[in-house]
Amino acid sequence: MLQIALAGKPNCGKSTFYKSLTLANVDIANYPFTTVNPNKGVAYVRTKCPCKELGIEGCTECIDGNRFIPVELIDVAGLVPDAHLGRGLGNQFLDTLREADAIIQVVDASGSTDAEGNPVDIGTRNPIDDVEFLRYEFAMWMAGIVEKHRARLVRQAQGKEQVLIDLLGEALAGLRINAIQIREAVDECGINLAKATPEDIEKMCEVLLRVSKPMIIAANKADLASDENIEALKVLGAIPTIAAGELALKSAAHAKILKYLPGDSTFAPIEGAKLSAPQVKALTMIAEHMKKFGSTGVQEILNKIVFEEIGMIVVYPVEDDNKFCNAKGQVLPDAFLMPIGSTPKDMAFRVHTDIGNGFLYAVDARTKMRIKDTTELKSGDIIKIVSTAK
């Protein structure tokens, strides 16, 4: 399962963001280090289910034609300046991030918390500073790991640069960094890895962070932020988010008070639901903010990091390509997130190792045509795998 980390300084709204995606019970409070141990849960990316498009009846895996596919979400301890030197909960924070496939950086767009996460007047802190310091801390931490291994690896490489890069790739495998990504960072920086200065290594790690850990900015507390702050963050690719609003809507939908699906631009009270005056007031405010930003932004940012930044597609394996179901008759029972460029054989191994080893051919259930094992799959493909494995 994909692993997405929520990162940011203390008290920027990470725990609320996490709960709004998972509805898990976590501590939420207005003081630094609310999260001490990482919270792990399941969030869901949203995509259109093929059942509506194809007129397939009997699909029980979607909601109103929308499919929700699980990814693992981690809310880690807040990051403070000099975390790479072990300050605060820095070592724990950075070590938790090492295996993440991608990072959502939650930023307090309202500027109502200082660098340490302490509450200040709204607009006091420039959120751009928060964006820069997190990336700096992570890159510096990574540089420390590279320097820890470099001298030994240089001796082993015996002057061969590619061998050195391959060895470093092995040393950084625990961070989900490979030799190809290291080569890209070295070439972009134009350095000789064996002779590089500490400053060169730091610059290389800034690039390495970018190519190995896709990152997107959640401009959180957007409902409290100035238009100036929001526009400045958008220049950096940020998406305005209102995690508290998303949490309120999801909780109300869970309580069967509202009709709302994560990612919707609107919501509506369920007929007969009784809402108090304070609830009506709060929902009215949320509706106004959603109209301004298009949605709460929470589902949008999860979808964007999975489908655009990481580059995943959704593929549906079936056993019966005529009825689009499995052996039990369940229509479109599974939806797999696969990397762009995946083939039918890749999907066969994803289903089961034995299925992959016994792969014979695949059938496109939409066209009923055989496809090559090297065919590049597209998002929304429905595929039958024929294998010698039972």
For 174-218, the pLDDT digits (tens) are 878 899 999 999 999 999 999 999 999 999 999 998 888 899 999
383 and 236: one domain? no
Final residue before a domain boundary, out of 278, 304, 330 = 304
Mean pLDDT of 219-244: 96
Tell me which residue range forms the domain holding 323: 312-387
Q: Considering its fold, how many domains does the chain have in total?
A: 2
* pLDDT for position 136: 83
* pLDDT for position 98: 74
* pLDDT for position 26: 38
Final residue before a domain boundary, out of 304, 338, 366 = 304
- Structural contact between residues 33 and 126, judged by C-beta atoms closer than 8 angstroms: no
Write the DSSP assignment of 150-218 as a string of letters.
HHHHHHHHTT-HHHHHHHHHHHTGGGT--HHHHHHHHHHHT--TTT--HHHHHHHHHHHHHHHS-EEEE
Q: Has residue 88 got a pLDDT over 70?
A: no
Per-residue DSSP letter, 270 = P
pLDDT (tens digit, 9 = 90+) per residue, 97-117? 777 889 999 999 999 988 777
Q: Could you tell me if residue 299 is inside a domain?
A: yes
Beta-bridged to residue 317, according to DSSP, are 383
8 and 128: one domain? yes
Q: Has residue 92 got a pLDDT over 80?
A: no
* pLDDT for position 82: 57
Per-residue DSSP letter, 377 = P
Q: Could you tell me if residue 90 is inside a domain?
A: yes
Q: How confident is the model at residue 77 (pLDDT cuts 50, 70, 90)?
A: low
Longest dimension (CA), the chain: 76
14 and 90: one domain? yes
Q: Has residue 84 got a pLDDT over 70?
A: no
* pLDDT for position 10: 78
Q: What are phi and psi of 382, to 5 degrees?
A: -115, 115
Residues 133 and 149: their CA atoms lie apart, in Å, by 25
87 and 221: one domain? yes
Q: Could you tell me if residue 62 is inside a domain?
A: no
Mean pLDDT of 29-42: 53
Q: Could you tell me if residue 84 is inside a domain?
A: yes
| Mean pLDDT of the chain, nearest integer | 88
124 and 219: one domain? yes
Domain of 23: which CATH number?
3.40.50.300
Mean pLDDT of 45-67: 92
* pLDDT for position 83: 56
Final residue before a domain boundary, out of 288, 304, 320 = 304
336 and 286: one domain? no
336 and 263: one domain? no
Q: Has residue 30 got a pLDDT over 90?
A: no
Q: Could you tell me if residue 46 is inside a domain?
A: no
Residues 390 and 105: their CA atoms lie apart, in Å, by 44
* pLDDT for position 275: 87
- Structural contact between residues 3 and 41, judged by C-beta atoms closer than 8 angstroms: no
Mean pLDDT of 127-150: 85
pLDDT (tens digit, 9 = 90+) per residue, 215-228? 999 999 999 999 99
Write the DSSP assignment of 362-390 as a string of letters.
EEETTTTEEE-TTPPP-TT-EEEEEES--
In the block, tokens 């599974």 appear at 334
**Which of 1-5, 112-116, 309-313 ranks highest by mean pLDDT?**
309-313
Q: Could you tell me if residue 334 is inside a domain?
A: yes
290 and 345: one domain? no
* pLDDT for position 148: 87
Half-sphere exposure at residue 328, Cβ-oriented, CA atoms within 13 angstroms: 5
Q: Has residue 36 got a pLDDT over 50?
A: no
* pLDDT for position 28: 35
Q: Has residue 367 got a pLDDT over 90?
A: yes
Residues 266 and 102: their CA atoms lie apart, in Å, by 28
* pLDDT for position 13: 85
Q: Could you tell me if residue 353 is inside a domain?
A: yes
23 and 107: one domain? yes
Domain of 322: which CATH number?
3.10.20.30
221 and 354: one domain? no
380 and 288: one domain? no
231 and 379: one domain? no
Q: Could you tell me if residue 259 is inside a domain?
A: yes
Hey, is 28 helix, strand or coil? Answer: coil
Residues 255 and 253: their CA atoms lie apart, in Å, by 5
